[in-house]
Amino acid sequence: MLLSERQLFRIPPGMSDEQAVLLEPSAVAVHSVLRHIPRPGEHVLVIGAGTIGLLVLQVLRALAPETHVSVMARHAFQVEQATRMGAADILYPQDTYQNVRLITGAHLYKGMFGNKMLLGGYDVIYDTIGTQRTLHDSLRWTRAGGTVVIIGVNLHFMHIDLSLIWYQEVNLIGSIAHGMETWPIGSYEHRSTFSLATELIQTGQIQPEKLITHRFALSNFKDALTTTTGKSQSRAIKVVFDYALMPATVVPNVRATARQRRPATTTTPQAMEPSIPNDTEEPPLPQETPQHIAAPAPSMQTREILPQAPALSSSPPEESEKTVTVPKLKRIRQIHVQPLRKTTGDVQTARETTENPTPPATNIAPDTLEEIEAPEDKA
């Protein structure tokens, strides 16, 4: 993933891995509470007791400790967690209007077609679910002039009765992710939500690591997804992947990774380019200037010597060998071309070749090039 340096946040050295992995949802909770901070003595409701809902509860206990906080939970293990973290009251999905009336002292009115209405209710409601039903109930559980903060994201179209927004002047505020916050409250200074959440974690005012209930290795992602979706049976709140549970061969800084096989490489021999054997005692050709080899044919040939098909009839030994002249040398050098059926040790001199002519070579490219001295002219 490629990100700008502005989108990165440096984790302080004193923060544990469990706290760091929950820093982002903690920042989401901090940002939502700072969208509207309750005043002391007000009744506050948090709808939803998942990871974000319980983090919102912790942030409310840290930033507004004098408020009366209720939590609406679905499962029994969520009720246990919310009670441990400071929830004063618990609302269950069954008959919630009656419970809200008992907790807040509001008056309940029932209309036609099962419609219900409360006069009074909560001062602030944080909706971490964001469905059509929770938003419909939140507007009716909020007192006149109260505030509803929507945290949960729902991408479906919803048909909502918004008459309570203008009839009772209910404030509907949205909250998404994190950003820059005005901190301290009432000042003109600004801080990032991540830095503020880090401060709350390091000072012990919020403890997000307590929400981790299950750990899985990354290779065991199927069980992790099953545990997350089946909360009623698994009692899962926050499921994380722990790299320490991976096999030793996968963990970094392990020498076992050095035993990985390297890809095999194959080299295809090139038969068209003759080469000089390493055990020859002849000096190599000079490479200071580019050399153009001239063949005995009337026209100039290219630098690469192409094999020629020998004649089938008997021919003098000169036809099975090619003698080329290398220009710009102090002495005359000859390149002796031998067929492939000859070995390196069976190199013949020019005089032996003249006396004992070799049979015509097959149509195979030469395999060696040797440099020999030209015979001195005794005449």
pLDDT band for position 301 (cuts 50, 70, 90): very low
Q: What is the pLDDT of residue 4?
A: 87
226 occurs within a structural domain: no
C-alpha closest to that of 39 among 140, 147, 134, 144: 147
Domain boundary, last residue among 241, 257, 284: 241
Q: What is the pLDDT of residue 285?
A: 52
| 49 and 173 assigned to the same domain | yes
C-alpha closest to that of 30 among 51, 58, 11: 58
Q: Is 5 left (phi over 0), alpha (psi -120 to 50) or beta?
A: alpha
Q: What is the pLDDT of residue 322?
A: 53
| 326 and 196 assigned to the same domain | no
C-alpha closest to that of 134 among 46, 75, 228, 37: 46
302 occurs within a structural domain: no
For residue 157, give its domain range: 11-213+235-241
Sign of the CA dihedral with 19 first, then 23, 25, and 26 last: positive
198 occurs within a structural domain: yes
332 occurs within a structural domain: yes
Domain count along the chain:
2
User: Does the pLDDT value for residue 121 go beyond 60?
Assistant: yes
Averaged over 256-265, what is the pLDDT?
44
Quote the crossing angle between the two packed helices 76-84 and 51-63, to the nearest 10°: 20
206 occurs within a structural domain: yes
C-alpha closest to that of 128 among 146, 145, 144, 148: 148
| 343 and 205 assigned to the same domain | no
| Rg of the chain over all Cα atoms, to the nearest angstrom | 44
Kind and range of the H or E run holding 364: none
Cut 0.95: pTM above it: no
- As a whole number of angstroms, the distance between CA 169 and CA 155 comes to 26
| 186 and 323 assigned to the same domain | no
| 198 and 347 assigned to the same domain | no
Q: What is the pLDDT of residue 279?
A: 46
If you average pLDDT over every residue of the chain, what do you get?
Answer: 78
| 208 and 325 assigned to the same domain | no
Q: What is the pLDDT of residue 217?
A: 94
329 occurs within a structural domain: yes
User: Does the pLDDT value for residue 111 go beyond 80?
Assistant: yes
User: Which single residue is written with the structure tokens 């926050």?
Assistant: 238
Quote the crossing angle between the two packed helices 23-35 and 51-63, to the nearest 10°: 60
Domain boundary, last residue among 200, 224, 241: 241
Domain boundary, last residue among 241, 258, 277: 241
User: Does the pLDDT value for residue 186 go beyond 80?
Assistant: yes
40 occurs within a structural domain: yes
| 207 and 343 assigned to the same domain | no
288 occurs within a structural domain: no
User: Does the pLDDT value for residue 313 go beyond 80?
Assistant: no
User: Does the pLDDT value for residue 359 go beyond 70?
Assistant: no
Kind and range of the H or E run holding 230: none
CATH number at residue 78: 3.90.180.10
| 321 and 189 assigned to the same domain | no
The SS3 call for residue 30 is helix
Q: What is the pLDDT of residue 113?
A: 82
Paired strand residues for 275: 368
- As a whole number of angstroms, the distance between CA 215 and CA 243 comes to 9
Q: Phi/psi of residue 300, each to 5°?
A: -75, 140
C-alpha closest to that of 31 among 185, 131, 151, 155: 151
Percent of the chain scoring above 70 in pLDDT? 66
The string of DSSP codes covering 324-351 is -B-SS-SS-EEEEE--TTS-GGG---HH
Q: Range with the lowest mean pLDDT among 18-22, 55-59, 212-216, 317-321?
A: 317-321
